[in-house]
Structure 1
Amino acid sequence: MNTVPSVTVVVCAYTLDRWDDVRAAIGSLRAQRHPVDEIVLVVDHCPELYERASAAFPGVRVVENAGRQGLSDARNTGVGAARCEVVAFLDDDAAADPDWAGGLLARYADPDVAGVGGLVRAWWVTRRPVWFPPEFDWVVGCSYRGLPRHLAPVRNFIGANMSFRRAEVVAAGGFRADLGRVGTRPLGCEETELCLRIAARRPDAVLLHEPAAAVRHRVPAARTSWGYFVSRCYAEGLSKAQVARLGGTHAALASERAYLRSTVPRAFARALRPGRPAGLRTAGALAGGVGATVAGYAVGRVRHPASGPAGRRGAGAEAVAVRLPATAGGGRP
């Protein structure tokens, strides 16, 4: 008989400016209908936040990022500290629905499932801009129109709501510290690159998107401007170029090709239907978003061209080793 695996939930935080968000994230984990076994809060090089969180959250393991500043090594620190079979990640500005943990964990009954991600709903603090296309909600770290609406295999997850068998993350080498966000710098794709590495290492591994496991992701007013939209799209292109250099363009861009062939043209058709007051502005945002992303990708490829076997196949394990404290337990392998 299959049993539900144990789970460590890792929340990474880096600034006191999000203190209320961190409290909401931790509170949502404590309110899960399927109780989580362990909560690890990783503080990314912010001593003041570490001191406050250590005193404020009894029962939560508060640890400091043991590696480079940035989200990737903060997550690696969380993986190293985790004691459970599954390690799940929730952003510090997200709150999990009460059935989130149960929805993720139920899918691990299948031994081929290496990871499960869920729906990320945008919570617009002010108001969603009328021109902002739902197909580009990935710009604000949320699920976008074009993702599967029901349980389905996917190439990679959205970082605000994802989980993996801990053994798979460790065996793959963890998150690359030379990819991803540092503070407010809008780079990313470290989740995509890790998912590609897990799939390359174990071709029979399944990564599942489970929309029933949902979180709410806060979108502040600063992320609703046209300037942020364009800069985030450009940064995504830069990040995708880096992932393509490490893992090969075919795997790294397979989902993006389908997105450009199907999702974006349908979005244009919807935006330009008669009777849509903001249709032209939405169409302009679609064109601008695609253009900025392609420009970022082109610049990224010029700056860091693929060279030699490492550029085609990805980096060796020495570049992506997870830092495992000597006292960390491995959970049930």
Structure 2
Amino acid sequence: MKVSVILPTKDRGPAIAETIESLLELDFPVEAHEVVIVDNLSSPENQKQLQGFATDHSDRIKYVREPKLGLCNARNCGIEYSQGEILVFLDDDAIVPKYWLTNIIKPFEDPQVFAVGGKVIAQYTTPPPDWIDKRLGMYISNFDHGEELLQLFYNEYPRGANMAFRRTAFAKIGLFLDCFDRKGNSLMSYGDIEICYRVEQAGYKVMYVPDAEILHLIRGDRLNQEWFQRRFYWQGRSEGLFELLHFGRKHILKKLPNHLKQSFTGDRYDQLHHRGFMVAILLNFFRQKFE
């Protein structure tokens, strides 16, 4: 088995069929890849649906269930139960073209490449309001660095909706950290940034490949200002925890006055972002270990 596509999911419902169908239509040798559905505590009804995909396509799809809530826990479960030399992570609200898998693994021909990401293009399931601009688009995972193969550096890393790693990367740098990314009602993020940062710090390449794009389906319940305000706040929480973990307390102490000031200036989104950063520091400053 050369390539494993790892698909974490929780209660996506019937809509996940679009994602599964696009994976079944990949122009890639059946014997050279697998799709691992990682069910992260879906309801019994949705669990039965996911198991049905694996039963109907047993030559291509594997079903596993991760009992510990959290996107990073589901990703780690996928790593454990997959067989591929290259592990490709896809969100359960994404649609892939037939050539996607072929193209996203090409950069791994360079033995120094340990992480790869492709374009993430928003496709709205309902018409978006006209106030969603480029800035807000970044917060629904839009990711496009143009039409050239590029090496990426902190903090312009691949998005978790469309990224791939050598299996050996996790043996060298460890697994995804449970303290980042979605869990329950939180909009915590940065699991993708954090793992790619460790890849770069270990001396390996993180690459962007332009012709391995996905369509990221954006539901209408995200297209309101309340959701974006929550998203900005949790982005701040994520950045604060990341910087405390990797840059240390002295770095944080130097930045705190500016974050405090910005918590009361700028627009509502900026304020919430900086307040989230402050909350992350207050909650974690004296912790010795992050899980």
Superposition TM-score tier, normalisation by shorter sequence: 0.7 to 0.9
**Shift in Å at residue 55 of structure 1?**
2.1
Q: Which has the higher contact order (CA 8 A, sep 6+)?
A: 1
Residues 10 and 88, structure 1, Cα contact 8 Å, conserved in 2? yes
Residue in 2 that maps onto 1:143? 143
**Shift in Å at residue 30 of structure 1?**
1.4
List aligned pairs for 1:43-54, cutoff 5 A.
43-46=39-42, 48=44, 49-54=46-51
What TM-score results when the alignment is normalised by the length of structure 2?
A: 0.84
Residue in 2 that maps onto 1:164? 165
Residues 50 and 63, structure 1, Cα contact 8 Å, conserved in 2? no
Partner SS for 1:193? helix
Work out the CA distance in 2 between the residues paired with 1:294 and 1:185.
Answer: 17
The code of the aligned residue for 1:177 comes to D
Work out the CA distance in 2 between the residues paired with 1:6 and 1:183.
Answer: 33
Structure 2 alignment gaps of length 5 or more:
253-265
What TM-score results when the alignment is normalised by the length of structure 1?
A: 0.74
Partner SS for 2:171? helix
Work out the CA distance in 2 between the residues paired with 1:69 and 1:107.
Answer: 32
List aligned pairs for 1:185-204, cutoff 5 A.
185-200=186-201, 202-203=202-203
Residue in 1 that maps onto 2:90? 90
Does residue 81 of structure 2 align to residue 78 of structure 1?
A: no
Residue in 2 that maps onto 1:329? none
Work out the CA distance in 2 between the residues paired with 1:162 and 1:245.
Answer: 25
Work out the CA distance in 2 between the residues paired with 1:140 and 1:172.
Answer: 28
Does residue 18 of structure 2 align to residue 24 of structure 1?
A: yes
Range 163-172 or range 134-143, more displaced: 134-143
**Shift in Å at residue 139 of structure 1?**
1.6
List aligned pairs for 1:297-308, cutoff 5 A.
297-305=277-285
Work out the CA distance in 1 between the residues paired with 2:194 and 2:286.
Answer: 15
List aligned pairs for 1:271-282, cutoff 5 A.
none
Residues 115 and 199, structure 2, Cα contact 8 Å, conserved in 1? no
Instruction: Report the CA distance shift for 1:47/1:219 in structure 2 as closer, same or farther (over 3 A).
Output: closer
Identity of aligned residues (%): 24
Partner SS for 2:192? helix
**Shift in Å at residue 86 of structure 1?**
0.4
Residue in 2 that maps onto 1:224? 223
**Shift in Å at residue 101 of structure 1?**
0.7
Partner SS for 1:246? helix
Residue in 1 that maps onto 2:34? 38
Work out the CA distance in 1 between the residues paired with 2:183 and 2:146.
Answer: 29
**Shift in Å at residue 299 of structure 1?**
2.2
**Shift in Å at residue 236 of structure 1?**
0.5
The code of the aligned residue for 1:53 comes to L
Structure 1 alignment gaps of length 5 or more:
254-285, 320-333
**Shift in Å at residue 289 of structure 1?**
2.9
Residue in 2 that maps onto 1:237? 236
